[in-house]
């Protein structure tokens, strides 16, 4: 049986007496822990006896009450103060608060070293070590299974039975459960509001969290993927070492699952590239799509862009998998392209998992035939450029008036417009790595102000004059003629929507 506060007080060799909190003397002590922090609770698991020379005890009365309340809330079993050392002379507020809550406050004689109390607790609880060892062996038997064909959800269920706790793996970024099907219990959904992301390098290994009376332990999982373990204990306080072993085994299962899905993602990206570039036969395309769960239902292409910011989509394929949404993903330039079922649920999941500022979405028309993927990709890009141009979060290709009413509605007609008006300009820029198209855009955007345009381009005015003369020669259009200016501006706007001028988006 675990040693209690009363057992320590009754041991004459420990020379310890009760100052306050007689109502809590039957509390069990899992460990005796020396700590001089004003708030040690993040590093505690509950059941500890705090040993202090008095440095941890604040001087002001209200702060003494707050200190005791923190220990009580952390389920600490009691506190022992070393005699004739650094405790404040006046600790009546602390003692009165302890009496009110039945929280034992002890006084240990100066000549008794803390190691004596620690060893007493350790020896008394040594029989628990054997039980913990057996429990750990059972946990690592589950780890052996993780390297075979046992899914992570079954591993978590088995571990829950071994340690007699409810376990939930949570993505701390979006607070969604991993490897869990069905509706989460209310206590879990409540405590998720208190979950905060952290790494194993900047926080305690195990942290107690609470939300409106619901309590749980938050345990980081050693894995490359963002994940934490939420632990709800059934009987008593789980052993922290056992919990650490449990989190390690869960991490192994997650890493195995991550590796499997990463291979699937890479294969899916290759299939996506082949579909866009039209390198796959219809039969091969149908077979490969069916293998990825995209065989029958109407599908669509979604193009996502974050402008000049890098994508934060490293784990997007895993998040979509956790929602049972079949998909193919590939990154082309600074555009993330996704092939999804054409359903509100799949598109909504994609948006929620890419909750990053400045991300726009362009969505193609629905299609059934894989041969339409290349065309749908162009439609998604069109819609994406329209969304970026007109500062909208999401745009469907078939949406009314997605672009300027003076531009053609079709992509092919728009390409013809660009080619006819500024095709030579774009070809020259590409061949000579020049910036004539950008110069024209900035010059027109600044309402043909030589001063403003040269400042924006960081060039001398005479350089700008030279470039404008060159542009007029190549386009055969004069920038002091209104209809010529209108044609050039509309052509630039069309080029931006088509993605031919990504640096101007």
9-23, 85-99, 292-306: which range is least confident on average? 292-306
101-110, 344-353, 369-378, 445-454: which range is least confident on average? 344-353
Predicted confidence (pLDDT) at residue 481 exceeds the cutoff of 50:
yes
Predicted confidence (pLDDT) at residue 271 exceeds the cutoff of 90:
yes
Give the CATH superfamily of 127-256: GAF domain (3.30.450.40)
Contact 365, 397 (CB under 8 A): yes
The confidence band for 154, taking pLDDT boundaries of 50, 70 and 90, is confident
The confidence band for 316, taking pLDDT boundaries of 50, 70 and 90, is confident
Q: Which residues contact 335 (CB under 8 A, 6 or more apart)?
A: 303, 304, 305, 381, 384, 499
Q: Report domain extents, the chain.
A: 5-124, 127-256, 277-396, 411-504
Contact 25, 11 (CB under 8 A): no
Which pair of structure tokens corresponds to residue 359? 């991300």
Kindly state the helix (H) or strand (E) to which residue 280 belongs, with its residue range. Answer: none
Predicted confidence (pLDDT) at residue 309 exceeds the cutoff of 50:
no
Between these two residues, 65 and 282, which has the higher pLDDT value?
65
Share of the chain above pLDDT 70, in %: 88
- At residue 3, the pLDDT reads 86
- At residue 357, the pLDDT reads 55
The CATH number of 5-124, from 3.30.930.10, 3.40.1390.20, 3.90.1170.50, 3.40.50.170, is 3.40.1390.20
- At residue 308, the pLDDT reads 45
Share of the chain above pLDDT 90, in %: 30
- At residue 132, the pLDDT reads 66
- DSSP 8-state secondary structure symbol assigned to residue 481: S
Query: Phi/psi of residue 78, each to 5°?
Result: 175, 180
Residues 202-224: tens digit of each pLDDT: 555 788 888 777 788 888 888 88
Average pLDDT (1-16) is 88
Residues 221-240: tens digit of each pLDDT: 888 888 889 988 866 667 77
Give the whole-angstrom CA distance, residue 498 versus residue 380: 10
The confidence band for 409, taking pLDDT boundaries of 50, 70 and 90, is low
Which pair of structure tokens corresponds to residue 219? 């345990």
- Give the end-to-end CA distance of the chain in Å, rounded to a whole number: 70
Spelled out in words, what is the top-level CATH class assigned to the domain 411-504?
mainly alpha
Environment class of residue 407 by beta-carbon count within 10 Å: exposed (0-12), middle (13-18) or buried (19+)?
A: middle
- At residue 147, the pLDDT reads 65
Residues in the chain: 505
β-strand pairing of 165-171 with 105-108: unpaired
Domain 277-396 listed as CATH 3.30.70.270: yes
Predicted confidence (pLDDT) at residue 319 exceeds the cutoff of 90:
no
- At residue 197, the pLDDT reads 61
Give the whole-angstrom CA distance, residue 348 versus residue 371: 25
Mean pLDDT, the chain, rounded, equals: 84
3-state secondary structure of 444: helix
Residues 21-67: tens digit of each pLDDT: 999 999 999 899 899 998 988 888 889 999 999 999 999 999 999 99
Between these two residues, 344 and 322, which has the higher pLDDT value?
344
Predicted confidence (pLDDT) at residue 199 exceeds the cutoff of 60:
no
């Amino acid at each position: 049986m675990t040693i209690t506060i009363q057992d320590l007080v009754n041991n004459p060799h420990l020379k310890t007496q009760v100052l306050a909190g007689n109502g809590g003397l039957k509390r069990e002590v899992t460990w005796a822990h020396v700590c001089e922090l004003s708030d040690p609770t993040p590093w505690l698991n509950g059941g500890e006896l705090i040993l202090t020379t008095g440095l941890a005890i604040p001087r002001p009365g209200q702060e003494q009450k707050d200190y005791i309340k923190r220990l009580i809330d952390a389920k600490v079993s009691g506190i022992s103060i070393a005699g004739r050392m650094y405790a404040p002379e006046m600790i009546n507020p602390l003692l009165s608060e302890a009496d009110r809550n039945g929280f034992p406050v002890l006084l240990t004689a100066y000549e008794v070293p803390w190691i004596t109390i620690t060893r007493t607790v350790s020896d008394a609880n040594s029989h628990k070590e054997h039980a913990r060892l057996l429990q750990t062996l059972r946990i690592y038997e589950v780890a052996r299974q993780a390297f075979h064909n046992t899914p992570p959800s079954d591993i978590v269920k088995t571990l829950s039975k071994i340690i007699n706790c409810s376990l939930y793996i949570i993505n701390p970024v979006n607070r969604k459960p991993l490897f869990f099907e069905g509706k989460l219990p209310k206590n879990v959904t409540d405590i998720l509001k208190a979950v905060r992301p952290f790494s194993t390098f900047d926080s305690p290994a195990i942290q107690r969290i609470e939300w409106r009376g619901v309590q749980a332990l938050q345990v980081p999982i050693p894995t490359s993927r963002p994940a934490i373990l939420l632990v709800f204990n059934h009987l008593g306080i789980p052993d922290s070492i056992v919990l650490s072993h449990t989190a390690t085994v869960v991490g192994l299962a997650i890493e195995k699952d991550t590796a499997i899905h990463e291979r699937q993602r890479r294969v899916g990206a290759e299939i996506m590239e082949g579909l866009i570039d039209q390198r796959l036969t219809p039969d091969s395309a149908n077979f490969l799509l069916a293998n990825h769960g995209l065989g029958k239902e109407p599908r669509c292409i979604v193009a996502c862009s974050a402008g000049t910011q890098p994508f934060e989509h490293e784990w997007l394929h895993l998040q979509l998998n956790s929602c049972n949404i079949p998909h193919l993903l590939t990154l082309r330039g600074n555009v993330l392209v996704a092939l999804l079922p054409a359903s509100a649920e799949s598109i909504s999941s994609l948006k929620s998992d890419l909750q990053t500022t400045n991300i726009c979405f362009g969505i193609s028309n629905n299609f059934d035939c894989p041969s339409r993927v290349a065309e749908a990709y162009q439609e998604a890009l069109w819609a994406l450029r329209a969304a970026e141009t007109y500062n909208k979060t999401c745009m469907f290709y078939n949406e009314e008036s997605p672009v300027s009413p003076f531009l053609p509605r079709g992509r092919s007609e728009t390409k013809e417009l660009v080619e006819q008006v500024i095709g030579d300009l774009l070809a020259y820029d590409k061949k000579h790595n020049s910036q004539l198209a950008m110069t024209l855009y900035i010059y027109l955007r600044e309402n043909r102000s030589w001063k403003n345009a040269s400042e924006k381009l960081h060039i001398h005015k005479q350089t700008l004059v030279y470039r404008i003369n060159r542009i007029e020669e190549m386009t055969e259009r004069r920038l002091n003629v209104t209809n010529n200016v209108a044609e050039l501006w509309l052509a630039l706007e069309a080029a931006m929507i088509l993605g031919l001028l990504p640096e101007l988006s």
